[in-house]
């Protein structure tokens, strides 16, 4: 099945490219921010267990997880503001023209950093609605890694400013955060991307309709270039939601 986007782009709906990481209660699930793995377990009422293999008519599980620390998630600026903002209210469109780029972070002192110069070079003047950053080396361990206390690569503030000024509204990255793991709460890249100047009282030009998606995984078989992105979230009234970004190759 084919579909036309904005009377300009055509995609094949039968060939989706899933760049999300599944959430499970196993040791294979990625983890960040010093928490334990997710919990998925059947509801119990006395002797009754919500599991078909234990005599119930249905499987009836509770799931305990953290969107930010347990896999692919999409967040709005409510992640860093005193006032409550929900990803379900901020994200109202779900199809975007996206560009996938691959970048190898540069070692600066003891950190690995994605710089403005690298992003600028890869974009070459293009202004997609969504930017997807795949970091090199692109090891499969990204799908299972415990990132806590590892100081993963991150985005420099100037790069986030450049992305914002370019007009990109949706940023996707295969790291647990666009910011340094331990940065004394500065969150420079988050604030720069969303143009949040004061987390206590939101400035009028803050970017309410823009999102950051973290902990994706883009297989090496997927080539750098232009795609249509379908950014799927769960309608949680929360600053972030687990998400399932899907790419479609342009025909």
Tens digit of each residue's pLDDT (9 = 90 or more) over 194-222: 999 999 999 999 999 999 999 999 999 99
* 137 in a structural domain: yes
* 114 in a structural domain: yes
Q: Which residues contact 124 (CB under 8 A, 6 or more apart)?
A: none
- Identify whether 137 is preceded by a cis peptide bond (ω within 30 of 0): yes
* 59 in a structural domain: no
Residue 8's pLDDT is what? Answer: 75
Residue 202's pLDDT is what? Answer: 93
* 37 in a structural domain: no
**pLDDT tens sequence across 83-123:** 999 999 999 999 999 999 999 999 999 999 999 999 999 99
CATH classification at residue 10 = 3.50.30.50
Residue 9's pLDDT is what? Answer: 78
Which of 3-7, 113-117, 166-170 comes out lowest in average pLDDT? Answer: 3-7
Average pLDDT over residues 22-35: 97
Q: Which residues contact 145 (CB under 8 A, 6 or more apart)?
A: 30, 31
pLDDT tier for residue 251 given thresholds of 50, 70 and 90: confident
Q: Which residues contact 126 (CB under 8 A, 6 or more apart)?
A: 99
Note down the domain range covering 199. Answer: 2-26+66-249
* Cα–Cα dist 27/21, whole Å: 14
* 154 in a structural domain: yes
* 142 in a structural domain: yes
Q: Which one, of 235, 224, 234, lies nearest residue 247 by Cα?
A: 224
pLDDT at residue 4 greater than cutoff 80? no
pTM strictly above 0.85: yes
pLDDT tier for residue 7 given thresholds of 50, 70 and 90: low
* 80 in a structural domain: yes
Burial status of residue 116 (CB atoms within 10 A of its CB: 0-12, 13-18, 19 or more): middle
For the record, the structure tokens of 58 come out as: 């249905």
Burial status of residue 228 (CB atoms within 10 A of its CB: 0-12, 13-18, 19 or more): buried
Residue 59's pLDDT is what? Answer: 98
Mean pLDDT score of the chain: 96
Average pLDDT over residues 36-59: 96
**pLDDT tens sequence across 138-155:** 999 999 999 999 999 999
- Cβ(93)–Cβ(134) below 8 Å: no
Number of domains in the chain: 1
* 15 in a structural domain: yes
Residue 1's pLDDT is what? Answer: 67
């Amino acid at each position: 099945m084919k579909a036309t986007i904005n009377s300009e782009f055509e995609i094949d709906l039968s060939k989706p490219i899933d760049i999300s990481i599944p959430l499970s209660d196993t040791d294979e699930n990625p983890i960040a921010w010093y928490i334990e793995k997710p919990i998925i377990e059947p509801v119990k009422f006395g002797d009754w267990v919500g599991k078909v293999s234990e005599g119930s008519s249905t499987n009836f599980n509770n799931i305990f997880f953290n969107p930010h620390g347990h896999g692919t998630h999409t967040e709005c600026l409510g992640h860093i503001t005193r006032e409550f903002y929900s990803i379900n209210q901020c994200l109202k469109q779900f199809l975007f023209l996206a560009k996938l780029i691959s970048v190898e972070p540069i070692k600066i002192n003891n950190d690995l950093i994605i710089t403005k110069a690298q992003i600028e070079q890869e974009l070459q003047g293009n202004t997609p609605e969504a930017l997807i950053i795949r970091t090199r080396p692109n090891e499969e361990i990204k799908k299972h890694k415990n990132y806590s206390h590892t100081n993963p690569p991150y985005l420099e503030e100037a790069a986030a400013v450049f992305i914002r000024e370019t007009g990109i509204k949706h940023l996707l990255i295969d790291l647990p955060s666009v910011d340094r793991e331990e940065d004394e709460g500065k969150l420079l890249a988050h604030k720069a991307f969303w143009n949040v100047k004061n987390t206590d009282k939101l400035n009028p030009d803050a970017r309410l309709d823009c999102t950051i998606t973290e902990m994706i995984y883009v297989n090496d078989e997927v080539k750098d270039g232009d795609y249509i992105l379908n950014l799927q979230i769960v309608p949680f009234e929360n600053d972030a939601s687990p998400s399932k970004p899907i790419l479609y190759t342009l025909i």
